[in-house]
Amino acid sequence: MKKFLKQIGILLMTEIILGCQSKPNSDSKEGQKANKENKVTLAFNQDPVGNLNPHEYLPSQFITQDMVYDGLVSYGENGEIKPMLAESWTISEDGKTYTFKLRPNVKFSDGSAFDAKNVVKNFDTIFSKENKSKHSWFAFTNHLKSYRAVDDLTFEIVLDTPYTATLYDLAMIRPIRFLGDAGFPEGGDTMKGIKAPIGTGAWVLKEHKNNEYAVFVRNEYYWGEKPAASEIIIKNIPDSETLALQFESGDIDLIYGNGLISLDRFNSYRQDNGKYTTATSNPMSTRMLLMNTTSSILGDLNVRKALNHAVDKESIAKNIFDGIEKPADTIFAPNVPHTNVKLEKYGYDLAKAEAMLDKAGWKKGADGIREKNGKKWYFHSLIFLQKLLIKV
């Protein structure tokens, strides 16, 4: 975070999940066939696949990378770290060495075996001299000292210093996911591309037409519980109105994600419980308002505190986001592990806000506008904030 920006946590953003409960029309042969084959069609507002490289970022997409590739561990509810390709692990007393016992008999989608040698092969390209800096945004990269295959089913990581979030970093969807040997390009550098998206995940890419659709089928070699659906079709529909109409007509079974349709449309579906099933996830991120502390007005700490107390987050959540998002008292949501540090909340309190502005020397003039040393209270802000701040 740049030093001249001050953040106010405003709203906890959630993912929107909804599906159609209506049965296909009895006269629709296509609907009957899709239902019989247990296919699910969902929509995305951009190409859902990209290059489907487990070690790369955009244009690859989280949603499909997670379908095809697995990590050593996964991130469960409320920050619980769960086994994935590693069925267990131990941490040395000094907190520097992590030893992972890999699941036996795991295979990639091409039938080849997953083992510690493959883990090393993936680590070699992710953390090569040429590629390591691309992943330096998460701290595990900078603490990784060495790694090795102890035996076929044991993999060891050594850090230069204890790092509490090691398992959380390893649980991320990218870049530490595992590509089968046959998917590696000549020379082994996956940042230059891959031959094929060969993973250990529950799904295999069957067909992809760039910027139109992708078709995934079950991975018959998958080590875990097989998906109930036999096929997932993801359509690229950038226009929210078109997406909604296809959903209502039954061409799409599921909409997942924030911002794909309007909140008004989502609420209309939520109110029609007989036809649609709707849900929202736990918070995924936080909306924030930023204050430029180099401003002659906002550079004063008391002014910034006053503005925190003058912003009615409950009103914003209710009137702008239709109650779908929740007010945020801190940058991190309550379900984020290790962040409950019991910070003092900035509650909505106009009296306290006015007192703080008075203390900072910003007094109301005869016209009701605050001023200090002959300078009027003025700075640029969003329209909905102007309506809130005019009260102080």
- Considering the domain architecture, whether residues 237 and 310 belong to the same structural domain is answered as no
CA 379 from chain centre, in angstroms, equals 33
pLDDT at residue 204 in the model: 98
pLDDT at residue 390 in the model: 66
Longest dimension (CA), the chain: 80
Mean pLDDT for 241-252 is: 93
Which residues are CB-contacts of 366 (< 8 A; sequence separation ≥ 6)?
A: none
**384 domain residue, yes or no:** no
Separation of alpha carbons 255 and 268, rounded Å: 14
Mean pLDDT for 46-57 is: 93
**207 domain residue, yes or no:** yes
- Considering the domain architecture, whether residues 250 and 364 belong to the same structural domain is answered as no
- Considering the domain architecture, whether residues 110 and 235 belong to the same structural domain is answered as no
**354 domain residue, yes or no:** yes
Q: What CATH number corresponds to the domain at position 163?
A: 3.40.190.10
- Considering the domain architecture, whether residues 338 and 253 belong to the same structural domain is answered as no
The residue from 192, 221, 240 where one domain ends is 192
**44 domain residue, yes or no:** no
**19 domain residue, yes or no:** no
Residue 33 confidence class, pLDDT cut points 50, 70, 90: very low
Separation of alpha carbons 127 and 370, rounded Å: 56
Mean pLDDT for 334-343 is: 78
- Considering the domain architecture, whether residues 58 and 177 belong to the same structural domain is answered as yes
Comparing C-alpha atoms, which of 381, 359, 98, 44 is closest to residue 208?
Answer: 44
Mean pLDDT for 341-364 is: 89
Place of tokens 């405003």: 10
Per-residue pLDDT reduced to its tens digit, 267-294: 888 888 678 888 888 887 888 888 888 8
Separation of alpha carbons 263 and 265, rounded Å: 5
**280 domain residue, yes or no:** no
The residue from 224, 251, 271 where one domain ends is 271
pLDDT at residue 183 in the model: 98
- Considering the domain architecture, whether residues 67 and 131 belong to the same structural domain is answered as yes
Report yes or no: 218 and 68 within 8 Å, Cβ to Cβ. Answer: no
**25 domain residue, yes or no:** no
- Considering the domain architecture, whether residues 178 and 67 belong to the same structural domain is answered as yes
pLDDT at residue 361 in the model: 93
Task: Give the mean pLDDT of the chain.
Answer: 87
The residue from 215, 249, 271 where one domain ends is 271
Question: What range defines the domain where residue 72 resides?
Answer: 50-192
- Considering the domain architecture, whether residues 65 and 176 belong to the same structural domain is answered as yes
What total number of domains does the chain contain? 3
Mean pLDDT for 170-179 is: 96
- Considering the domain architecture, whether residues 92 and 181 belong to the same structural domain is answered as yes
- Considering the domain architecture, whether residues 214 and 262 belong to the same structural domain is answered as yes
- Considering the domain architecture, whether residues 312 and 263 belong to the same structural domain is answered as no
pLDDT at residue 391 in the model: 73
